[in-house]
Amino acid sequence: MENRQLLKTLVLFVAYIILLAFASCGPVVISSRPSSPPPPWFYPNRLEVVRYVYFPEISIYYDITARTYLYLDGGLWVRHSVLPARYRNYDLRRSRYERIRNYHDDNIRRYHDEHNANRGRSNLNTKKRSS
């Protein structure tokens, strides 16, 4: 009986995903925790497998799987379920963000160091002058 209920739940879940993917205009997000919806500011326009979202203006990542924000605090990467107090008035729904594709590791520092070393105005101006 228990296996039958599990199978029924699985079939309903797959049918729900298929329905959303092909019959609606709304977003479909696949994460390792399908029972946890993404935050209200995250609205992708197609089917994607994404773990992290990056907000470049404030240099904060959001881990969709763990439902935590990651940011540097005193040189250390910190995870919290709420934004730090200095960003609580920041409207993430109206903010530009980048989906981090093809990176699912727990260590965000490695990704950040590899992909964000040349961000910021001072680095952009230095590149322009040297060209």
The answer to whether residue 77 sits within a structural domain is yes
- pLDDT of 24 reads 46
Q: How far is CA 121 from CA 31, 67, 126, 129, in A?
A: 34, 30, 9, 12
The answer to whether residue 127 sits within a structural domain is no
Does the structure show a pLDDT above 80 at 11?
no
Model confidence over 89-114: pLDDT tens digits? Answer: 888 888 898 989 888 888 889 899 88
Full residue range of the structural domain in which residue 38 is found = 2-120
Model confidence over 14-65: pLDDT tens digits? Answer: 766 665 555 544 444 555 555 566 666 665 555 567 899 999 999 999 998 8
* Helix, strand, or coil (residue 121): helix
The answer to whether residue 102 sits within a structural domain is yes
The answer to whether residue 105 sits within a structural domain is yes
The answer to whether residue 51 sits within a structural domain is yes
The answer to whether residue 128 sits within a structural domain is no
Q: Which residue has the higher pLDDT, 116 or 63?
A: 63
Tell me the pLDDT band of 69, cut-offs 50, 70 and 90. Answer: very high
Q: How far is CA 71 from CA 8, 14, 53, 99, in A?
A: 41, 35, 12, 16
Tell me how many domains the chain contains. 1
For residues 68 and 71, give the distance between their C-alpha atoms in angstroms, rounded to a whole number.
10
Tell me the pLDDT band of 8, cut-offs 50, 70 and 90. Answer: confident
Tell me the pLDDT band of 127, cut-offs 50, 70 and 90. Answer: very low
Tell me the pLDDT band of 125, cut-offs 50, 70 and 90. Answer: very low
- pLDDT of 31 reads 52
Does the structure show a pLDDT above 50 at 77?
yes
The answer to whether residue 126 sits within a structural domain is no
The answer to whether residue 110 sits within a structural domain is yes
- 36 backbone dihedrals φ, ψ, rounded to 5°: -105, 115
